[in-house]
Structure 1
Amino acid sequence: MSMTISRLQAMIGGRWRDGSGPEYATEYPHDQRVVSHLRAATEADVDEAVQAAEQARQRPSWAGLRHHERASLLYRVANGIRDRAEELAQLQRLDNGKPIQECRALVASAAGTFQFFGAAAETWEETITPARGDYLTMSLHEPLGVVGAITPWNSPIASEAQKLAPALAAGCAVVLKPAEITPRCAIELARICEQAGIPAGIVSVLPGRGAVVGDALVRHPLVKRIAFTGGTRVGLGIQRLAAEKLMPTSLELGGKSPTIVMPDADLDHAVAGVLYGIFSSSGQACIAGSRAFVHESIYDAFKSRLLEGVRRLRVGDPALESTQVGPLVSLFHRETVERYVMEGVADGGRLLAGGARPEGAPYARGSYYLPTVIEGVSNEARLCREEIFGPVLALLPWSDEEDLVARCNDNPYGLAAGVWTRDFRSAWRLGARLQTGTVWVNTYKVFSISTPFSGVKMSGYGQEKGRLGILQYTNQKSLYWGLNETPIAWAD
């Protein structure tokens, strides 16, 4: 794809135009070249978009659609994404530096998400509940109204689809705030929605700072729900503001996920899974398996194979088909990761791999950091308690299962976990005891749009994905139909 600098516009209330805020640029993490210019949205832009969304959602062109008619629009969006799949993958690569193979997978996921929720809308059924008197009872679901969606920079197009698709399937209007530094895919999704025939005003995209655009979205009185993926600190702030409005939210926040390698594990599978779980996406994933607990009887063998695998990882230009590990999203973020590693070493950790920037001309201008493995740190160390969001793995031996479970759960987060074992009883027992929203057994970091995803503890709450994910964007209403032939006796 050409590195021509793009001029981007926002979609605000059915109109393509510049935001009203200051101009800023986005950079390609591989070499820090500017790839786009745009103007940030402001609080006034948020109000315009929300007011337009509130009006658009009540018009017959949207509110009057039957479920199968709304579904057909989502199918068109899915097809529109597929028609532009390679272009969208390249745009995401330029935004956040993910290897192109990962970007293609995320674009395919986004298309599948719209198709799935189109099917969920088309097969939507309401419920006639069991009667307990001389009346007929039923439960209906109605769209909440205007929804605010706030997405992160690490997997933009997939995160945006997971919020847009169910909200649209439910009949809501959506004001989408993408991460400031990765606005391209959200803007193109709005264009695809427009071309698919979704009415003007139903989807707006407002790039800009979270402290401005995100805050205004959460506070706006016409916004009836916030769907947020991002950092825990920001999520807590959103929840405080939402409480003032009694507004429902879904918060997918941080993680510090453990992976457990049992003594009977297939080491080839376990090593490959641990490598993929932490070093794909350069560790910039909320579900990254950043703490590997390995049984002491196989610890040395596992470590030897793991380090050999790390040495074989291909770190480099995300445009190359062979690249496995790309740059971190920014120079600033790389400095944050470096500080965590230096502190881990100061806490007694021993660097087994990485812990430095790669050398050589291909890496000179980019925000690259080598896949890093550290052993000898305590599970209580900051390196093992806080989300680093980088390619850093803590290797921890274990011998007693009770202590293992306690250490895995002794963390503020509870988003995901992995278990590697040949014994289904061990997997079932550990899976039930781990305090987390997702447990992978003999695999890691695989997802299905048909399976709910959520976190516990400081990893957030509320569900995304799954057929019932559409209900997150509805109000439930009960109707009672009197069948009595005579007037209510009390009134006699």
Structure 2
Amino acid sequence: MFADEILVGGRWRRGGGEVLETRDPATGEVLARLHGAGVADVDEAVRAGAAAAADPAWRDLLPHERARCLVRIADLIAERADDIAALQTADTGKSINETRALVASAQGTFRYFAAALETLEGALTPSRGPYLTMSVHEPVGVVGAITPWNSPIASDAQKVAPALAAGNAVVLKPAEWTPLVSLALGRLITDAGLPPGLLSVLPGPGRIIGDAIVRHPGVGKVSFTGGTTTGRAIGAAAAEKIMPVSLELGGKSPTIVFPDADREQALAGLLFGVFSSSGQSCIAGSRAFVHASIYEEVVGELVRRAGRLRIGPGTDPATQVAPMVAHAHRDKVAAMVDRARDEGARVRCGGRTPDGEAYARGAYYLPTILDGVPNSAAICQEEVFGPVLVALPFEDEEDLVAQANDTVYGLACGVWTGDYRTAWRVARRIDAGTVWVNTYKQFSISTPFGGFKDSGLGREKGREGIFAYMRQKSVYWGMDEQQPYSQQWGAQST
């Protein structure tokens, strides 16, 4: 059982909210019960964060000194990597191979923003008169960071690291289904010597704790990763406060196979793009557009290979498709597939839970491939967030672009072709914040990430990722004793 403590304004103590229960998705067994945060805890955390951010001990640290703190955090993540990965596998159900990669990503994120902070620059802008003009950036104060349940350690790092680098305090709200890794990260950051109050970790229901963070007058910026419906509500609340937000939301990403694609590379990429993470990824390549001339051949091979994927607990390194995060979520995905079947979709493989005693207690669902429906069908338009792929044929490039862009989402896209001209044209024409060519789900912390349309607002990662947590200020410094207005407004004019 995990200790019944959360981090509130620099203190580890029992939360004042409802009891949260987290279960192992592979077995259904309870991992931990803990008291989550209450609304009063949010107020305490924000007030403590504001005081800590304004304290000269943090406020006056030079950038390279803040960078040292981030490096210490990265070092501790590296030291405790195995334990963190195992905890995330238990809490989320993800395969141990994936959670190890996510821990490595988190470590790299803190190192990257430490390095970026070391070289962060303001700007000496061209003056238009007898003065020096400068553009500088300052912290916003307290940042609310709301992260999802599918990749907590990596998502936490992508918000906490740049926000701290920028000089802020952070109130982190992890998902109520998967709070354990975020709490472990909080202890690790405390051990790294971050001044008390600069980080709080408040697990709890989004409708209560997330809402309280967003609406608190002391929070100057919110960064949210999650569903589009919740993102809209956060955006509306932020508009009332005239507060900046970053929103990384849902997706219904197309993956496109042209006839001249490297067939083996494309098949492996399509399978990895949608079935890794058990499809529980905002960038999952959940719509496969395959040229009509190779459609049956490619989809038939996808079906054959999907049926051979290894399904099992995340603790087994051989597992390719692990259980879903919770039984309730598995049932939601199953209901969406059942509705698609009722509306005429052909189930080429999967579409049910796996047979056998080994899977009986876990939140498992078979890799599923559907076809036989138009792109306008609900299963092609709504984010499933599970191991479900819909295959659709296309005739030519115009037909492809029209179908691929016919969605409210615009997060990611994959293009498989041997022609660089085709790749470039299509990559530029698809409405998506990230396009992969002859690869999929590859990431670099140095490259900005975000979506178009209902997939979000703003960008994370990259050097600009620090500025997203800062306010820009202009400074004018008079350099001439005789200013332009002196003659009319000086002492001699009275």
TM-score, normalised with respect to structure 1: 0.98
Partner of 1:490: 488
Q: Distance in 2 between matches of 1:66 and 1:461?
A: 30
Residue 193 of structure 1 pairs with residue 171 of structure 2: no
Q: Tell me the number of residue pairs that the alignment of Structure 1 and Structure 2 aligns.
A: 488
Deviation at 1:195, TM superposition (A): 1.2
Q: Does 1:398 align with 2:425?
A: no
Q: Measure, in 1, the Cα distance between the counterparts of 2:206 and 2:323.
A: 23
Distance in 1 between the 2:21 and 2:390 partners? 35
Are 1:227 and 2:246 counterparts? Answer: no
| CA offset digits 1:20-72 (Å, max 9, x no partner) | 12223110000110001100111100000000000011111110100000000
**AA partner of residue 58 (structure 2):** W
Structure 1 gaps, min length 5: none
2:298 matched to which residue of 1?
A: 302
Is 2:431 the counterpart of 1:435?
yes
Q: Give distance in 1, aligned partners of 2:350 and 2:282.
A: 21
1:49 corresponds to 2:45: yes
Alignment map for 1:210-225 (pairs within 5 Å): 210-225=206-221
1:52 and 1:6 map into 2 onto residues whose CA distance is 25
Question: Structure 1 residue 353 and structure 2 residue 349: aligned?
Answer: yes
Q: What is aligned with 1:407?
A: 403
SS in 2 for 1:201: coil
Match of 2:88 in 1: 92
Residue 147 (str. 1) matches residue 147 (str. 2):
no
Identify the residue that residue 287 of structure 1 maps to in structure 2: 283
Matched, 1:177 2:197: no
From 63, 80, 88, the equivalent of 2:59 is: 63
Post-superposition offset of 1:186 = 1.0
Q: Secondary structure at the match of 1:193?
A: helix
Question: 135, 149, 156: which one pairs with 1:160?
Answer: 156
* Partner deviation per Cα, 1:275-312 (whole Å, 9 max, x = no partner): 00000000000000000000011112212221222122
Deviation beyond 3 Å, 4+ runs, structure 1:
none
Alpha-carbon distance, 1:8 to partner: 3.4
- Aligned CA RMSD, in angstroms, stands at 0.9
Counterpart position of 2:20: 24
Runs (5+) with no aligned partner, structure 2: none
Kept in 1: contact 2:7–2:186 (CA 8 A):
yes
Q: Deviations over 1:54-93 (max 9, x none)?
A: 0011111110100000000000000110100000001111
The one-letter code matched in structure 2 to 1:251 is L
**Matching residue of 1:276:** 272
- The answer for the alignment partner of 2:321 in structure 1 is 325
Cα offset, 1:134, TM superposition: 1.2
Distance in 1 (alpha carbons) for counterparts of 2:215 and 2:296: 53
| Residue type at the aligned position of 2:143 | V
Query: 1:423 and 1:447 mapped to 2: Cα distance?
Result: 23
What SS is found at the alignment partner of 1:356? coil
**Residues 412-469 of structure 1: CA deviation (Å, up to 9, x unaligned):** 1000000000101001000110001000000001110000001010001111001111
Counterpart CA distance in 2 for 1:431 and 1:353 is 30
Contact 2:20 2:176 in 1 (8 A): no
Matches within 5 A, 1:436-451: 436-451=432-447
Partners of 2:263 and 2:116 in 1: how far apart? 40
Deviates more, 1:415-424 or 1:16-25: 16-25
User: In the aligned structure 1, how far is the partner of 2:59 from the partner of 2:488?
Assistant: 39
Query: Any idea what the Cα deviations from partners look like across 1:386-437, whole Å, max 9, x if unmatched?
Result: 0000000000011121111011001010000000001010010001100010
Identity of aligned residues (%): 57
Corresponding residue number in structure 2 for 1:389: 385
